[in-house]
Structure 1
Amino acid sequence: MATQRSQASAVDSKKKQRQELYQLLGKLPDRHRPIAVEIVSTQETDELIIEKLLLDINGLERVPAYFTKPKNKSGKLPVVLFNHSHFGQYEVGKEEFVRGRPEMQKPPYALALARAGYAGLCIDSWCFGERQERKETDTFKDMIWHGQVLWGMMVYDNLRALDYLETRSDVDTKRIATMGMSMGSTMAWWLAALDERIKICVDLCCLTDYQELIKTKGLDLHGIYYYVPDLLNHFTTSQINGLISPRPHFGLAGRFDPLTPLPGLTKIDQALKEIYKKDGAPDAWQLRIYDVGHRETEAMRTDIMAFYRKWL
């Protein structure tokens, strides 16, 4: 009985922390506003079906997206909500998912996931891809004036993308993962921390301890989108990621990546090992550090797909 009370208390504590974390994201649109979707086009290859979508999810601007799935597999499929990276290349956005990028392995994740039997969804974040009409700095400044936070608006759109996935008859909503590299990595662990519908989190090259980033004078290495007002008065990186436990979480980092200082990675790893052990899932958290900078290696790709085979 005491153990049950302790578990219930821990669940309640994490729920309150999620609410607190969400409230730091500024004035956000209604989470329950209706979602509308337009299928712009459908493209098929020998292995892959690619739907190009326009999602009405925030009431402010429609959100272009790609939904992909294996051509020769039917029924309800496990799905990966893929979050694209930044790299200062605003024209890329969701194209990274279907076309890849030089910093990542081939094939692009849309095809790699389809070959493994998974569907995928990737949206253009604010200021990227087909949403780059206004510059990132201009968007950030305008939003701040109105009590909004650019990162919060980005997170909101991806949470609503989860809502959209739940409306699809070809998605197994009990088998949803999220992942990304760089900015997409940060988005993955924020989403998984905030929403328990995500069962698996994979973050690639951006599990950054905030305090260590300050110590190493690395604040300018991350874009302006990254900074949430008042965050450090409430949460550490480890505390945010602790909200993902006991769900499976795989962090991959480069030993020579200045965006993720090594002392910070050690700090996060130690904290999450303790949290996952306390939550009864010591094997569900993994951190692997590779002898590389800010990029995906062949070994990383192999390990990511093995992690999905085990947990998704």
Structure 2
Amino acid sequence: MHRILLCSTLLLACMHAAEPTVADDWVAKASLAPPLKVPASLNAWQQQRTQIRARLNELLGEMPARPPVSAFKVISSEDKGSYTHETIQFDNGAGEVVKGFVFVPKKATVQSKAPAILYCHWHGGQYDIGKQELLGTNATPVAPGPALAEKGYVVLGIDAPCFGERNGQGPDGPQQKGSAGEMTAAKFHLWAGRTLWGMMIRDDLAALDYLCSREEVNAARIGVTGISMGSTRSWWIMALDDRPRAAVCVACMTRYEELIRAGMLKAHGIYYFVPGMLRHFDTEAVIALAAPRPMLFMTGDQDGGSPLEGVRRIGETVKKVYALHGDAVEECFESTIYPGVGHVYLPEMWEKTLQWMDRWVKPKP
């Protein structure tokens, strides 16, 4: 019975896919870049990789210099038994004071440096939450900050632009909160010659600078992770910076052309869009920049913001890039699709996240 239903569903999907859509007309007239062509040699890929990264930075816009790590201050600290919960803040040099949480295991010391996780919170329309996601279960099966600290990781997460204590701190001030504030911030940055997405990643990289500078952190053992917007932040960080050792990305493994064709641009907020990007490449080019570092993607096949065909096409292309680095590296890239699952973080996904980070980020005993 299940096979009959599955076949019927696939048949209907194929029939529907064959029908031209309004989106197909838009794509046909837009001169979008073709799928990434992976070269035959590692040397050729490394040259292409340099070009793609440079183009990404150009597309994100003209960013103000990142603040120095000396701009980061611990403003409170609370003993939680096996770990310490700190609140930090820094002036981001672009008009905002940004706050974040740091969770430091008691076993992490100058003499016994610990691995670390840069945690990127999601969107979910939950503008008031931001870094508080580290203490809750609004997006994850467990509170990720304490849970990862208990596993021996130093954990850092900051409020992204327009979220948490930055909600209502955009250029129009407190009267513009939520999606209205997000739109206002996006408009301002476009006028300033940059993107909201670029500024979001810039602040994440500033947080990474600080995390690497912490005396109890092993800077060679840092992972990055998140769900949804946090997932996308994670794979862009991996693309633009070689310091993170590994990543786990839950949901939002999205190829943009497939997103357009599926009529699901509505699934992602204005923060997400980079002008001109599809004239050069789609997201397989961004994700491939992480190779050969370990990357785990977990996506529900019912997640409308990540059309399945795009997820598969990204996986097929990125695996070819990993293969250029040798057979031993192929296991470093994994894309798992969960049947019957939407835009959620399952308990089994969390367990797999822990296993992935323990395998690739923690030092071997």
Q: What is the one-letter code of the residue matched to 1:295?
A: V
Match of 2:303 in 1: 257
Q: 2:89 aligns with which of 51, 54, 59?
A: 54
Q: Deviations over 1:85-138 (max 9, x none)?
A: 00111000000012231x4202x1112211221111101011000111131011
Indicate if the aligned counterparts of 1:182 and 1:206 stay in contact, CA closer than 8 A. Answer: yes
Equivalences for residues 163-174 of structure 1 within 5 A: 163-174=209-220
Q: Deviations over 1:9-38 (max 9, x none)?
A: 533432232121111111211147564122
Match of 1:93 in 2: 130
Q: CA deviation at 1:60?
A: 2.3
Aligned partners of 1:152, 1:130: CA distance in 2, in Å? 20
Indicate if the aligned counterparts of 2:69 and 2:213 stay in contact, CA closer than 8 A. Answer: no
Aligned partners of 1:57, 1:81: CA distance in 2, in Å? 17
Indicate if the aligned counterparts of 1:35 and 1:57 stay in contact, CA closer than 8 A. Answer: no
Aligned partners of 1:302, 1:33: CA distance in 2, in Å? 35
Q: 2:356 aligns with which of 304, 307, 312?
A: 307
Three-state SS of the structure 2 residue aligned to 1:282 is helix
Establish whether residue 79 from structure 1 lines up as the match of residue 116 from structure 2: yes
Aligned partners of 2:215, 2:62: CA distance in 1, in Å? 32
Number of aligned residue pairs: 305
Instruction: State which drifts further: 24-33 or 300-309.
Output: 24-33
Change (3 A) 1:47 1:21: same
Instruction: State which drifts further: 67-76 or 230-239.
Output: 67-76
Q: What is the one-letter code of the residue matched to 2:309?
A: P
**TM-score, normalised by the number of residues in structure 1:** 0.94
Match of 1:44 in 2: 79
Q: 2:332 aligns with which of 284, 291, 298?
A: 284
Match of 1:105 in 2: 141
Q: CA deviation at 1:234?
A: 1.4
Instruction: State which drifts further: 163-172 or 9-18.
Output: 9-18
Q: 1:64 aligns with which of 99, 102, 125?
A: 99
Match of 1:297 in 2: 346
Change (3 A) 1:200 1:252: same
Three-state SS of the structure 1 residue aligned to 2:299 is strand
Q: What is the one-letter code of the residue matched to 1:113?
A: L
Aligned partners of 2:323, 2:43: CA distance in 1, in Å? 17
Aligned partners of 2:107, 2:245: CA distance in 1, in Å? 25
Match of 1:3 in 2: none
Q: 1:226 aligns with which of 267, 272, 275?
A: 272
Change (3 A) 1:168 1:73: closer
Instruction: State which drifts further: 180-189 or 15-24.
Output: 15-24
Match of 1:153 in 2: 199
Q: What is the one-letter code of the residue matched to 1:296?
A: Y
Q: What is the one-letter code of the residue matched to 1:257?
A: D
Aligned partners of 2:220, 2:114: CA distance in 1, in Å? 10
Three-state SS of the structure 2 residue aligned to 1:235 is coil
Change (3 A) 1:65 1:287: same
**TM-score, normalised by the number of residues in structure 2:** 0.80
Change (3 A) 1:87 1:81: same
Sequence identity percentage: 36
Equivalences for residues 17-36 of structure 1 within 5 A: 17-31=52-66, 35-36=70-71
Indicate if the aligned counterparts of 1:85 and 1:181 stay in contact, CA closer than 8 A. Answer: yes
Aligned partners of 1:59, 1:221: CA distance in 2, in Å? 28
Aligned partners of 2:316, 2:44: CA distance in 1, in Å? 23
Q: For the pair shown, which has the larger CA radius of gyration, 1 or 2?
A: 2
Equivalences for residues 193-272 of structure 1 within 5 A: 193-272=239-318
Change (3 A) 1:45 1:33: closer
Structure that is richer in helix per residue? 2
Aligned partners of 1:164, 1:220: CA distance in 2, in Å? 35
Aligned partners of 1:53, 1:32: CA distance in 2, in Å? 14
Aligned partners of 1:34, 1:81: CA distance in 2, in Å? 15
Change (3 A) 1:9 1:272: closer
Which ranges of structure 1 fall in alignment gaps of 5 or more residues?
1-5
Match of 2:9 in 1: none
